[in-house]
Structure 1
Amino acid sequence: MPSTATPNAPTRGREITIVGIDGAGKSTLAARLHQALNDAGHKTILVGKHTTDVPADLELAAYVDQLNTLVYRRDARVAQECGDHYWLLALAAWYTLQDKLVIQPALAAGTHVILDNAHHKILARYAVNPEVSTELAEQVFAHLTEPDLVFFLHIDAHTALTRKGEFSSLETGHSGGADEDFVRYQDTVLATLREHADRGGWLSMDVTDMDRDQVFHTAAQALTDRLQLPL
């Protein structure tokens, strides 16, 4: 039987996702890995909460940007009035478009993807929300591309708070504006992320006592060992 493979088709890229509570250092690590992979000759893009670029299709890019504006660049009071179920579905729509129009084409073209601000933290937040079914939350994100490697940056909430210095109402689960509200909520989210890590085989890194260089070098070694992407 003749082969159906496309001649000279690029090797699929790898998706590397970084997960953790607010203040864990996700964006810092994502940026460093993105730069280091490109410097090492591995074509890589960094995808975050405001990534809306759709190569070669300006109309689609404009549409994705409009959705991003609705989801992430909106008035906080308006957001709260819309309710938890609305925001679950709005976030699912956002992650769906970003996955379909940005991440999947990049992977198919052989480009690696560093994903910051993945949906796992959204799932953790909804898991501690009694108003929304955990099963529903998991279902609306179930179709997204499965990462090749997930780094779970584990840090206690007190240390995360010290690093951040300030926080938003969302980062306390809208439970209050005091430090203890942040710590209590983030500890609850952290417990849920641990459950996901155990089920999903994530690479857990306790970064509480690690500086940025130590975190980076540990992650870089994992890329070499697990994905054969030496830096």
Structure 2
Amino acid sequence: MTQGRFISFEGIDGSGKSTQAALLADQLRDLGHDVILTREPGGSVGAEEIRSLVLEGDPDRWSAETEILLFTAARRDHLERTILPALAAGKTVICDRFADSTRMYQGLSRGDLRSLVDQLHSLMIGREPDLTVLIDMDPSVGLARAKSRQTSEERFEDFGVGLQQQMRQGFLRLSKEFPERFVVINGVDDKEAVAGDVLSAVTPHLQKGLNA
């Protein structure tokens, strides 16, 4: 059986990446793909338990180092129990956030810890997505969208627009660091137009995987 394809979505809070991940999953299913839609932190029973620890509560609840360990533990469980089995079965895995978010949120914004994130990733995860879709958006617009959701997972949103500006620039730098893996999509249009742009960008990568 052909190995499945692993697609992640990244972007600042409120960029629309979760909506676009779900829309892409629906589009690919309509085209006949067997798709697993998942998220981070989360995506497995153990990882969902860790999710509530890291996304809720006071912004200063955890140190950056503790967060990195928690996110890595959640990602390892997610990888073992959800992602790798689905890929081995030939499915397309679409994940709302993956290691790039940890590189940004914990490795960059809360101290110069990118090297620590990468070391733990190499030791415990050892896998990057085949394709990462970065939904790019002005941070002030994105944060306003995120705040309007009124979810309980507001801990990182409470760091404010300054963090989101750092994150946007960091994600764009990552897209240049890993150009073979990233595609950058402008997220300011209506969601249907953005979804069309995402599908157009993803399709050649899926075809490449089928022909490999």
Class of the TM-score when normalised by the shorter of the 2 chains? 0.7 to 0.9
Q: Pick from 85, 88, 95 the counterpart of residue 115 of structure 1.
A: 95
Q: What one-letter code is carried by the residue in structure 1 that aligns with 2:162? A: R
- The answer as to 2:208 corresponding to 1:222 is no
Structure 2 residue identity aligned to 1:36: Q
Count of aligned pairs: 196
Following TM superposition, by how much is the alpha carbon of 1:128 offset from its aligned partner in structure 2, in angstroms?
2.1
Q: Which of 71, 74, 77 is the aligned partner of 1:94? A: 74
Aligned with 1:51 (options 23, 27, 43): 43
Equivalent in the alignment of 1:150:
132
1:66, distance to aligned residue in structure 2 (A)? 3.8
Q: Partners in 2 of 1:92 and 1:171 — Cα distance?
A: 21
Hey, what's the Cα distance between the residues in 1 that align with 2:113 and 2:26? Answer: 39
**Alpha-carbon distance in structure 2 between the residues aligned to 1:183 and 1:80:** 17
| TM-score, with length taken from structure 1 | 0.78
Distance 1:169 1:223, change over 3 A: closer
- Provide closer, same or farther for how the CA distance between residues 172 and 144 of structure 1 changes in structure 2, counting only shifts above 3 A: farther
Q: Distance in 1 between matches of 2:136 and 2:7?
A: 17
1:205 equivalenced with 2:185 (yes/no): yes
Q: 2:28·2:35 contact (CA, 8 Å) conserved in 1?
A: yes
Matches of residues 1-231 of structure 1 in structure 2 within 5 Å? Answer: 10-49=1-40, 50-52=42-44, 65-69=45-49, 71-74=50-53, 76-77=57-58, 80-126=60-106, 127-130=108-111, 133-142=113-122, 143-166=125-148, 168-173=154-159, 182-201=160-179, 202-208=182-188, 210-228=189-207
Question: Matched residue of 1:45: which SS?
Answer: strand
Tell me if structure 1 keeps the 8 A contact 2:47–2:78: no
CA contact (8 A) 1:104 1:145 kept: no
Distance in 1 of aligned mates of 2:23 and 2:71: 26
How far does residue 67 in structure 1 lie from its aligned partner after superposition?
4.6
Ranges in structure 1 where 5+ consecutive residues have no aligned partner? 1-9, 53-64, 174-181
CA deviation profile, 1:109-159 (whole Å, cap 9, x unmatched): 1011001122212210121222x5221012112334221111111101112
**CA–CA distance in structure 2, aligned partners of residues 91 and 184 of structure 1:** 22
Query: 1: distance between equivalents of 2:19 and 2:134?
Result: 14
Partner Cα separation in structure 2 for residue 148 and residue 66 of structure 1: 24
Q: How much identity, in percent, do the aligned residues show?
A: 26
Whether the 8 Å CA contact 1:14–1:112 is kept in 2: the answer is: yes
* CA distance, structure 1, for counterparts of residue 73 and residue 147 of structure 2: 31
Computing the radius of gyration over CA atoms, which structure comes out larger, 1 or 2?
1
Matched-pair contact (CA < 8 Å) for 1:12–1:107: yes
CA contact (8 A) 2:57 2:155 kept: no
- Given that 1:124 and 1:189 are in contact with CA atoms closer than 8 Å, whether structure 2 keeps it comes out as yes
Normalising by structure 2, what TM-score? 0.84
